[in-house]
């Protein structure tokens, strides 16, 4: 899932969102929304053994829509040589922030929490973690 996430306090607040959501209320949810809308968010994974990679770019829109574009590359070597494969897909979702967590829906009726957390990497950049995947602000 990139935006401008603000101060370190917000990052810590996201990590503790589940326990603090009731105390912080709507103001905390508004900070999370602002963070999500500030940038597109990107995820990348690479398998060193197979050489396969996958990437994902999440763009949150103010109207509550989310576009996730994913891509993958794979390589296979055999007697006939090396074959490369590539795929790309785009999906749209609905998003909202409630009780300090990001919720996603495919149809706008059934919502699933993502367990959104935020942390900083060794360079100080904000990393979002949602549904077990790490996202950094896209470059």
Query: pTM for the full model?
Result: 0.74
Q: Show me where the domains of the chain are located.
A: 8-137
Edge to edge, the sheet with strand 133-137 lists 112-113, 101-105, 81-98, 65-78, 53-60, 41-46, 133-137, 126-130, 117-120
**Spatial distance between the Cα atoms of 118 and 35, rounded to a whole number of angstroms:** 10
Q: State pLDDT tens for residues 99-137.
A: 999 999 999 999 999 999 989 999 999 999 988 889 999
pLDDT tens digits for range 48-105: 888 888 899 999 999 999 999 988 888 777 788 878 888 888 899 999 999 999 999 9
Contact 64, 94 (CB under 8 A): yes
């Amino acid at each position: 899932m990139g935006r401008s996430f603000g101060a370190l306090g917000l990052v810590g607040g996201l990590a503790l969102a589940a326990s603090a959501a009731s105390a912080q209320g709507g103001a905390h949810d508004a900070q999370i929304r602002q963070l999500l809308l500030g940038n597109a968010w990107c995820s990348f994974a690479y398998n060193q053994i197979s050489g396969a990679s996958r990437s994902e770019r999440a763009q949150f829109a103010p109207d509550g829509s989310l576009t996730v574009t994913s891509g993958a590359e794979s390589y296979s070597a055999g007697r006939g040589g090396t074959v490369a494969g590539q795929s790309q897909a785009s999906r749209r979702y609905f998003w909202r922030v409630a009780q300090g967590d990001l919720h996603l829906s495919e149809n706008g009726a059934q919502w699933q929490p993502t367990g959104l957390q935020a942390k900083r990497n060794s360079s100080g950049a904000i990393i979002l973690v949602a549904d077990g995947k790490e996202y950094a602000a896209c470059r």
